[in-house]
Structure 1
Amino acid sequence: MSKKNRLIVHCLIALCSQYVCAQPRTMGLEEMFRLADENSQRIQVYQTGKDAAEAALQAAKAQRLPDINASLSASYLGDGKLWDRDFSNPMNIDMPHFGNNFSLEAQQVIYAGGAISSSIELAELGKHSAELDAQKNRQEVRFLLTGYYLDLYKLHNQMQVLKKNLELTEQVIANMRVRREQGTALQNDITRYELQKETLKLQVAKVKDASTIINHQLVTTLHLSEGTEIIPDTTLLDEQIQTLDEKNWQALASQNNLDLQQTQVGIQVNEQKVKLERSERLPKIALVAAEHLDGPITIEVPVLDNNFNYWYVGVGITYNFSSLFKNNHKLKQARLNVKKAQETHQLMQEQVENTIQATYVDFLTAFTDLRTQKKSVELADQNYDVTSNRYQNDLALLTDMLDASNTKLSADLSLANARINVIYHYYKMKYVTHTL
């Protein structure tokens, strides 16, 4: 194969691969949410946090298991020295030079003032908090993707309107050039529409660039193939939105809002910390058992070159008396933290209620805007029909016809955007109630 043919083949392969990579993909919101749950790196980070919290819980539960220690040592013993009490009459004592020691000790805590139970409860609350963080992050990712998706939908609608206006402008320019040849139009009129054409081309380029940016953000978040072009599902506007009244939205928020649940967990965490501080004032009781094997026996003079084995079992009790006067301030701090957590929860309830109310009002405003845009489309259609009829009867200029057409296109675009806004505010209501 010649170099020229190989070059052609490589170019065709590159073009084909680029075409395959750039295949458009129509996607609905539910499919996008599913892909985000599977592929989003941000969601995966919080999933790892949940796994770490589960490991911390298992580590806390392991504190209930017995402590077992073993030690083994070998040593060289030097000869000893013996004096009177006034350090007179020194005497060398021969020692066996090899020493050995083995010990095996076990301890099982049977009462620690609730410290172990509180530590396990804190770990369980930490796991629950990590799960709430993951759920909240999932809601945030979904709402972020919803915003990108609907913005992309608006840009697609805007692109269609701009292209239609561009086609109409080119039609006007062609018609004006014919009329100029006939002497019924001026070059100035053509120049004006050519300027309009260039402005429309610039707007098309800006919309295309904005779509590229948003599309890249969606593709990156969803971990799709590079070059994938996401096409919004046009059936989204046909879905019926069954909204609730404000009271029901408030009830949903009180049951599902993750911020409220997190502050409630914060109260429980601080209550467990109070119990943990109280446990410092209580005795610790444990079962103990040990096995020892030592040699030689150095407590005798002369030293006995024997191994000595002994074992014991029993109950050990420890009590830290200093906690009675050292722990007061920590216990007071823990109780104040409980009060602070309760106040934070109450504050969050107020903030969530205000957020629901404000978002609900915006939701109603979106419906009002939708009704207004429907009326605008109706009036624009009537104006277009009248102007078209007059133009066909030579009672209106082409510019009048184009103005009516532009007005109709703009009204249609505004209506589509108004419908998208209703969907956006609906999903925003689900987001602030954390039911998305």
Structure 2
Amino acid sequence: MWSKKLLLLALCSFITGKYIYAQQVFTLQQAIDTAVANYGTIKAKQSYTAASNEQVKQARRDYLPNFNISAQQDYGTINGQNGPLYGFGGLAASSSGLPLDHQNWNAAFGALYLTNINWDFFAFGRAKEKIKTAVAAATQNDKDWQQEIFRHKIKVAAAYLNLVAAKQLTRSYKDNMDRADTIRKVVRIRVLNHLIAGVDSSQANAEYSSARITYTKAKDAEQEQGNQLAQLLGIPVRDFEVDTEFVKRIPNLPGDSLDESRHPVLQWYKSRIALADEQAKYSKTFYYPAFSLVGVLQTRGSGFGNGYASDQSDFSHSYWDGVKPTRSNYLIGLGVTWNLSQPFRISKQVKAQELTSKGLQYEYELADQQIKAQYALSDTKLQNALSNFREVPVQVKAASDAYLQKTVLYKNGLTNLVDLTQAAYVLIRAQTDRDIAYVNVWQALLLKAAAAGDFNIFSY
């Protein structure tokens, strides 16, 4: 009865332990999600995209008419004088009155209430082109954000695979160190029993020391890859328990899926060309005049009476008498403004934009050529990696059998330590070739996904 309970408890503990271990594994998908959410460059370009969308809204609102209201209440004199006057920088006062033959200091309150509407209602498509330019800028920022996410996914996946390879190599070198330690113990026992010469013990110690150094170097490389992965994830450095099982199988191989119209990087290059074209179109609209509609409603109040011209005592110091509205005027107008020298200046700006667009087109063509070459190379690398993937099991099995044979022969005194050490070298080389071949298949698939512009190709 108690034995059954203990067995059940042990089974539950084993299952729970495996579940906890599985929960601690940091998968590739988790790494990608963490990087997209945390990496600073991606968050910055997301903010730039949001800002450009707000600028589109601003460009649409710029077409609305200007609607100004103004109110002022003043206190001062109204002495006037005949003569020309120009208010540079708006520094002249608006006081006005009769040009009397003497100066006086009669002062009263005055007020001005003003409503003004000014609307450039037609400018040969200038407002529409400004909106289109803002939309093109927002599209470029969005494409830049998307291609940054795509590029970063590729970087994170590559770093993750490098860490997987480093952990597998560390594991293989750990096994090699353990084998060297086992050989050292066997040699020590045989030396103590005077079955072999003592020099074998020194050689076994040296081989163990070499295996230990190699393992330490592999551990150092693993920690370096983990540090690089943490930087790409935008999180503090820690020890990652990565998934090393999925690389031991052949992935789902895609067909020919290079679609240039959906490639994030090429789409970003196209958006740059589109923005330059829209900027050139917008600049051309300044060749033409702008038609404006204006409307003004003005109300004034004054503490000076209508008889002040003949009677300088006809004024009041009362605040309400000065600010109370007494006279109103309105004005409605239609006008056209055309700077005839503007086309002469803008033509060079348009030419510069057109040349910029041409340069961006050349950059797009170069990027397209490079991506096509990378895609062709990825096919070759994938086929070579698959060929090595199929060969390494044969190599590992042969090396394992040879090592087992030499170990048995050595324990029975039928071979020497040099042959056993050589077999160990062949085995560790086969294991490292296996580890690298496993990861190379997935790295070749990642290269294909990067060239195709479709991260879904890298399906694990």
Pairwise TM-score range, normalised by the shorter structure: 0.7 to 0.9
Cα distance in 1 for partners of 2:360, 2:82 equals 68
Q: CA deviation at 1:155?
A: 1.8
Select the residue among 363, 372, 375 that pairs with 1:356: 375
**Alignment check: 8 A CA contact 1:108 1:287 kept:** yes
1: CA distance, partners of 2:80 / 2:39: 75
1: CA distance, partners of 2:168 / 2:36: 28
Counterparts of 1:344 and 1:145, CA distance in 2: 26
- Alpha carbons of 1:240 and 1:193: their partners in 2 closer, same or farther (altered >3 Å)? same
**Shift in alpha-carbon separation, 1:367–1:185, aligned structure 2, 3 A:** same
2:265 aligned with 1:259, yes or no?
yes
1:353 and 1:221 mapped to 2: Cα distance? Answer: 27
Q: Once the two structures are superposed, what CA deviation does each residue of 1:39-73 show, in whole Å capped at 9, x if it has no partner? A: 33332222222212222222222212221112222
SS in 1 for 2:294: strand
TM-superposed deviation, 1:166:
1.6
SS of residue in 1 equivalent to 2:115: strand
Structure 1 residue 290: Cα displacement: 1.8
CA deviation vs aligned residue, 1:370-395 (integer Å, no higher than 9, x gap): 34434423543554566567668865
Whether 1:117 and 2:128 are equivalent positions in the alignment is yes
* Cα distance in 2, alignment partners of residues 128 and 236 from structure 1: 38
Could you tell which deviates more after superposition, 414-423 or 381-390?
381-390
1:312 counterpart SS class: strand
SS in 2 for 1:92: coil
1:82–1:91: 8 Å Cα contact kept in structure 2? no
Change (3 A) 1:133 1:181: same
Deviation per residue, 1:86-109 (Å, 9 max, x gap): xxx972387663332221112233
Work out the CA distance in 1 between the residues paired with 2:76 and 2:217.
89
Contact 1:161–1:409, Cα closer than 8 Å, also in 2 = yes
Shift, 1:334, TM fit: 2.6
Matched, 1:369 2:407: no
Residue type of the alignment partner of 2:253:
Q
Find the counterpart in structure 2 of residue 13 from structure 1.
none
**Mapped partners of 2:287, 2:280: distance in 1:** 12
How many residues in Structure 1 have an aligned counterpart in Structure 2? 407
**Residue of structure 2 aligned with 1:168, choices 174, 179, 183:** 179
- Give yes or no for the alignment of 1:92 onto 2:98: no
Which residue pairs with 2:334 in the alignment?
A: 315
Are the aligned partners of 2:372 and 2:451 in contact in 1 as well (CA < 8 Å)?
no
Structure 2 vs 1, CA of residues 337 and 235 (structure 1 numbering), >3 Å: closer, same or farther? closer
Q: Secondary structure at the match of 2:62?
A: helix
Match of 1:182 among 193, 198, 202: 193
In structure 1, what is the Cα distance between the partners aligned to 2:306 and 2:266?
67
Match in the other structure for 1:275: 281
CA distance 1:58–1:206, shift in 2 (3 Å): same
Residue ranges of structure 1 left out of the alignment (5+ in a row): 1-21
Say whether the 8 Å CA contact 1:27–1:233 is kept in structure 2.
no
Alignment check: 8 A CA contact 1:40 1:223 kept:
yes
Q: Report if the CA contact (8 A) 1:152-1:232 is conserved.
A: no
Correspondence list, 1:349-428, <5 A: 349-381=368-400, 383-384=402-403, 387=406, 395-397=414-416, 400-401=419-420, 403-428=422-447
Structure 2 equivalent of residue 5 of structure 1 = none
Residue 134 of structure 1 is matched in structure 2 by 145
| Aligned-residue CA RMSD (Å) | 3.4
Letter in 2 for 1:302: A
Give the percent of matched residue pairs that are identical in Structure 1 and Structure 2. Answer: 17
- Give, in angstroms, the shift of residue 120 of structure 1: 1.4
1:62 maps to which residue?
A: 61
**Map of 2:51 onto structure 1:** 52
Shift, 1:396, TM fit: 4.0
* Superposition TM-score, scaled by structure 1 size: 0.82
Measure, in 1, the Cα distance between the counterparts of 2:33 and 2:227. 18
In the aligned structure 1, how far is the partner of 2:356 from the partner of 2:424? Answer: 66
Deviation at 1:136, TM superposition (A): 1.7
- Alignment partner, residue 29 of structure 2: 30
Check conservation: 1:69, 1:106, Cα contact below 8 A.
Answer: yes
In structure 1, what is the Cα distance between the partners aligned to 2:306 and 2:375? 80
Aligned counterpart for 2:115 among listed residues 98, 104, 109: 104
Cα pair 2:26 2:242 within 8 Å, conserved: yes
Q: CA deviation at 1:209?
A: 2.4
3-state SS of paired residue (1:91): coil
In 2, distance between residues paired with 1:255 and 1:83? 73
Aligned counterparts of 1:339 and 1:225: Cα–Cα separation in 2: 44
Please tell me the residue identity of whatever aligns with 1:275: K
Query: Which secondary structure state, in structure 1, belongs to the residue aligned with residue 309 of structure 2?
Result: coil
TM-superposed CA distance for 1:348, in Å, is 2.5
CA shift in 2, pair 1:179/1:324, >3 Å: closer
The residue that corresponds to 1:74 in the other structure is 73
Match of 1:19 in 2: none
